[in-house]
Structure 1
């Protein structure tokens, strides 16, 4: 694993590792990991002078990078940051038209090295964090909808990652964590912007 912490990592809140019980799987929805790094370094939380990112990133080649240590709270999913580890898979997703109604389908499959190393990483994390017991996708935790940028009358999902091409049954069987899904509730619109 390659460790390359974000420039603001010391400003992220510390947390006890035994409070972590959830892994959230994401995809970057960007063309490559270099672009994801640029997004991760952006300071979007002005009060804390930090950005949005996951803890780990897995390139299409399978290479794993740690951008945030697990004893720090990374900003990667609404409402679950303090109890979770965010793992981002390098994947274009809906890039560059995240919020167009005619560009919501994710077409590129995840690579075998990515998926194999994702399983390896989670199994290492399970050994290091006994409280880890659940796994979910970003799309299962953030169900908000917003008006499509090309057709405001059409509501689209804000988050769709890791998407329908992610092999959930095979993956959960390989890691031994309980799949966690939030119930569908009233979805209120939010303003559009880059994913994160």
Structure 2
């Protein structure tokens, strides 16, 4: 079994409370961006308890920082909370990127302007290569924006609706990523 020694493993404090799953049930990678200013803020958010019954929160499995360092916060055999209705069968990968922070749902702040760094994209390529060997059942990759099409009232004007999730956003180089992996892109029009 190949290992990827450059993955920094620091499980979230509640990782042991997350539901266990069989790796052969995992068929999808979901790409996200943190929409937060840095990895430390993402970690702080990830450690927050959002579900009192299970004492767990929202997090991806992996985070890739601007410098290309890869951090694993949830073991692969645990179900992370990162994409509604797709958690049990997916691995969540978060790229640190400011996105729409701090006005995620403001109607006049829906443009995601920050590009991903070459170091992040190189690390993502390596991580996807590792994951497709480690989890042979992986078949698809999708963006959070492809799977969660929920629209919500804008925080500044409830008469205007905005898309709840836009990540990984317009600067994510889909073709470049797809050219380097055997995974095929999945979206809401082509469900699993």
Superposition pairs of residues 46-195 of structure 1, within 5 angstroms: 46-183=52-189
Query: Is residue 30 of structure 1 aligned with residue 36 of structure 2?
Result: yes
SS in 2 for 1:175: coil
SS in 2 for 1:127: helix
Query: Is residue 14 of structure 1 aligned with residue 20 of structure 2?
Result: yes
Query: In structure 1, what is the Cα distance between the partners aligned to 2:100 and 2:18?
Result: 29
Deviation digits for residues 14-62 of structure 1, max 9, x if unmatched?
Answer: 0001110000000000000100001000000111110000000000000
Deviation of 1:151 after TM superposition, in Å, equals: 1.2
Q: What value does the CA root-mean-square deviation take over the aligned residues?
A: 0.9
TM-score computed with the length of structure 2 as normaliser = 0.94
Structure 1, gaps ≥5 residues long: 185-196
SS in 2 for 1:82: coil
Q: Runs of at least 4 residues of structure 1 off by over 6 A?
A: none
TM-score computed with the length of structure 1 as normaliser = 0.93
Structure 2, gaps ≥5 residues long: 1-6
Deviation of 1:183 after TM superposition, in Å, equals: 2.6
Query: In structure 2, what is the Cα distance between the partners aligned to 1:48 and 1:98?
Result: 27
